[in-house]
C-alpha cells in the first residue's frame, strides 16, 4: 500500500498531492501584536510590500481563478480577524502580513486580483502569489494556477495603475522603495518532482535543484529589471517534516511520524546553492543600489518542530484540520474535524503552518528585516 502510493501517478493521487502542497500562510490574532516601526525612523523609507510566490504567501488570489487549490471557506481563517476565510492557507495571518505590519505599511497584504482594491490599498502593497505555484514552469500547470511569469506580468500592470495615479517618476521611486518578498519552491519538489514522474525521469535531484534555481534567478532578474531594489527570497522549509510528506512517503507513516531526513537534505542542499547564487547576484547588482536577501525558513521551522515543547506546541507531525495526515485545500472544509486549540499545532493543515508557527517564523526573520532595511 505504501509502496504503491510512492509510485502512483494516478490523477487522483496527483490531485491529492497538489492540494496538500500548497503551502505556507501565517496568522494569529491572539499572539502579541506586532508593533510597527515608524516609517521615518528607518534609514531607508519603505513605501510598500510586494509579494510573489505560492500558498505560503497567497492571501487569496486563487479565489479569482479556476483552480481547486483554494481555501476561501472554513475552517481556514478561523483565527483571522472576524474569522474570515480570505483564501490564506492558514487559520490566521501569513508571515508577509506580519512583515507588512512590522515595516509599517499595512496590517494585512491583500490579493492583487481582488477587484475592489482602491488605489491607496494598491500603493501600500499587494500579493501576486498563487497557491500551488512554483519556479519550474511545469509546477503551476498542475493546478492551473498563476505561474511566476504571469505574476510578473500582473506586476507590470500594477505599475501602470500606479503610474496613472502618480506619474512615472514617482511610481519608479515608489517601486524602488518597496520591499519585495519571494516565497516558493516547496511545490516544485514535493508535488512536481516527488509525486509526478515527468521531471524525475529527466533530472537527477541535483540537476533539478539547479533547474529550479535557474528559473528562480530568471524571475529575480525580471523583478530587478522592473525596478525592484530590495528583494527578499525565502529558502525551502524542512520539506521532509510536512505532515503530508510523512503520510505519503514514510515507510512507517502510521506508527512513526518522524521527519523524512532524505527530503530535508534536499532542502538543505537547495538552500546552500540558493544562498550562493543570491550572493553572486547581489554582488553584480550592488553598484545599482539593489539588495537581495536570503530568508532562512529551514532552521527556524526545524527548531520549532524539534523543540516544540519549548514553544508550547503539542502536535508536530499532523495538521489541525481533519485527520491531519492528508487534508488541505478542498479536503479541509466545513465538514472537517478541527482541533480545539490551533496554537498547540505546528501545522494547520497537512501542508501549511499554523498562524502561531508563521508568527514565530516572522520573529526569527525580524533581525534580518532590520538589517535589510537599515533601521536605526
Ligand atoms: C492552547 O495551546 C497553547 C499552547 O500549548 C496554550 O498555551 C494555551 O493555554 C491553550 N489554550 C487553551 C484554551 O487550551
What CATH number does the domain containing 233 carry? 3.40.50.1110
pLDDT of residue 255: 86
Half-sphere exposure of 361 (CA within 13 A, CB side): 34
Do residues 55 and 131 touch, judged by C-beta distance below 8 A? yes
pLDDT above 90: residue 344:
yes
Distance CA(26)–CA(225), nearest Å, equals 30
Closest among 323, 330, 324 to 351, alpha carbons compared: 324
pLDDT above 50: residue 10:
no
pLDDT of residue 22: 43
The response to whether residue 344 sits with its C-beta less than 6 Å from ligand 1 reads yes
The response to whether residue 312 sits with its C-beta less than 6 Å from ligand 1 reads yes
Sole residue written with cell 512536481:
192
Closest among 84, 50, 19, 61 to 247, alpha carbons compared: 19
For residue 114, what is the DSSP state? -
Closest-CA residue, ligand 1 atom 12, reads 341
Give the contacts of 171 (CB within 8 A, at least 6 positions apart). 159, 162, 163, 165
- Band of pLDDT at residue 182, cut at 50, 70 and 90: very high
The model's pLDDT over 314-337, given as tens digits with 9 standing for 90+, comes to 999 999 999 999 999 999 999 999
For residue 5, what is the DSSP state? H
Residue 105 Rama label (left phi>0; alpha psi -120 to 50; beta): alpha
Of 312, 313, 314, the residue with max ligand 1 atoms within 8 A of its CB, to mutate for a pocket test, comes to 312
Global pTM value: 0.90
The partner residues of 42 in beta bridges, in order of sequence, read 375
- Quote the cell numbers at residue 100: 507588512
How many Å from the N-terminal Cα to the C-terminal Cα in the chain?
57
Q: Report the chain's mean pLDDT, rounded to a whole number.
A: 90
Q: Which parts of 235-345 are beta strand (E)?
A: 291-295
Give the contacts of 106 (CB within 8 A, at least 6 positions apart). 49, 100, 121, 124, 125
Measured from the Cα of 356, ligand 1's closest atom is 4
Active site residues: 55, 349, 352
The partner residues of 269 in beta bridges, in order of sequence, read none
Closest among 303, 296, 311 to 344, alpha carbons compared: 311
The model's pLDDT over 78-93, given as tens digits with 9 standing for 90+, comes to 999 999 999 999 999 9
The model's pLDDT over 239-264, given as tens digits with 9 standing for 90+, comes to 999 999 999 999 888 888 999 999 99
pLDDT of residue 5: 36
- Band of pLDDT at residue 105, cut at 50, 70 and 90: very high
For residue 193, what is the DSSP state? I
pLDDT above 60: residue 16:
no
Half-sphere exposure of 94 (CA within 13 A, CB side): 32
Q: What is the dihedral of CA 208, 210, 215, 217, to 10 degrees?
A: 160
The response to whether residue 30 sits with its C-beta less than 6 Å from ligand 1 reads no
Q: How far is the CA of 82 from the centre of ligand 1 (A)?
A: 20
Distance CA(259)–CA(311), nearest Å, equals 18
pLDDT of residue 329: 94
pLDDT of residue 253: 84
**Domain enclosing residue 15, as ranges:** 2-373
Count of the separate structural domains present in the chain? 1
What does the radius of gyration of the chain's CA atoms come to, in whole angstroms?
A: 19
For residue 42, what is the DSSP state? B
The average pLDDT across 267-287 equals 95
Amino acid at each position: 500500500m505504501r509502496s504503491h502510493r510512492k509510485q502512483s501517478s494516478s490523477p487522483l493521487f496527483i490531485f491529492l498531492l497538489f492540494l496538500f502542497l500548497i503551502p505556507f500562510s501565517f496568522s494569529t490574532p491572539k499572539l502579541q501584536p506586532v508593533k510597527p516601526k515608524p516609517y521615518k525612523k528607518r534609514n531607508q523609507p519603505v513605501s510598500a510590500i510586494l509579494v510573489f510566490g505560492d500558498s505560503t504567501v497567497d492571501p487569496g488570489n486563487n479565489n479569482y481563478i479556476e483552480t481547486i487549490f483554494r481555501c476561501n471557506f472554513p475552517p481556514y481563517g478561523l483565527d483571522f480577524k472576524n474569522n474570515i476565510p480570505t483564501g490564506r492557507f492558514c487559520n490566521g495571518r501569513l508571515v508577509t502580513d506580519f512583515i507588512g505590519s512590522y515595516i509599517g505599511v499595512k496590517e494585512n497584504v491583500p490579493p492583487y486580483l481582488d477587484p475592489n482594491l482602491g488605489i491607496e490599498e494598491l500603493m501600500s502593497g499587494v500579493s501576486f502569489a498563487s497557491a500551488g505555484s512554483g519556479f519550474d514552469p511545469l509546477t503551476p500547470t498542475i493546478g492551473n494556477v498563476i505561474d511566476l511569469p504571469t505574476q510578473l506580468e500582473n506586476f507590470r500592470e500594477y505599475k501602470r495603475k500606479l503610474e496613472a495615479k502618480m506619474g512615472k517618476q514617482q511610481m519608479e521611486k515608489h517601486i524602488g522603495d518597496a520591499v519585495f518578498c519571494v516565497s516558493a519552491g516547496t511545490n516544485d519538489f514535493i508535488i512536481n518532482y516527488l509525486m509526478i514522474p515527468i521531471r524525475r525521469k529527466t533530472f537527477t535531484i541535483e540537476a533539478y535543484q539547479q533547474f529550479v534555481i535557474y528559473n528562480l534567478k530568471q524571475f529575480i532578474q525580471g523583478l530587478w529589471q522592473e525596478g525592484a531594489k530590495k528583494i527578499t527570497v525565502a529558502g525551502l522549509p524542512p520539506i521532509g517534516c510536512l505532515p503530508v510528506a510523512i503520510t505519503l512517503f514514510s515507510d512507517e507513516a502510521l506508527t512513526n511520524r518522524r521527519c523524512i531526513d532524505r527530503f530535508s537534505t534536499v532542502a538543505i542542499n537547495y538552500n546552500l546553492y540558493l544562498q550562493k547564487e543570491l550572493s553572486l547576484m547581489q554582488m553584480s547588482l550592488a553598484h545599482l543600489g539593489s539588495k537581495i536577501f536570503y530568508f532562512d525558513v529551514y532552521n527556524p521551522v526545524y527548531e520549532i518542530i524539534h523543540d516544540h515543547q519549548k514553544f508550547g506546541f503539542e502536535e508536530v507531525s499532523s495538521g489541525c484540520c481533519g485527520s491531519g495526515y492528508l487534508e488541505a485545500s478542498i479536503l479541509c472544509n466545513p465538514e472537517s474535524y478541527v482541533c480545539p486549540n490551533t496554537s498547540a499545532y505546528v501545522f494547520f493543515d497537512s501542508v501549511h503552518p499554523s498562524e502561531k508557527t508563521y508568527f514565530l517564523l516572522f520573529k526569527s526573520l525580524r533581525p534580518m528585516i532590520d538589517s535589510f532595511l537599515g533601521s536605526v
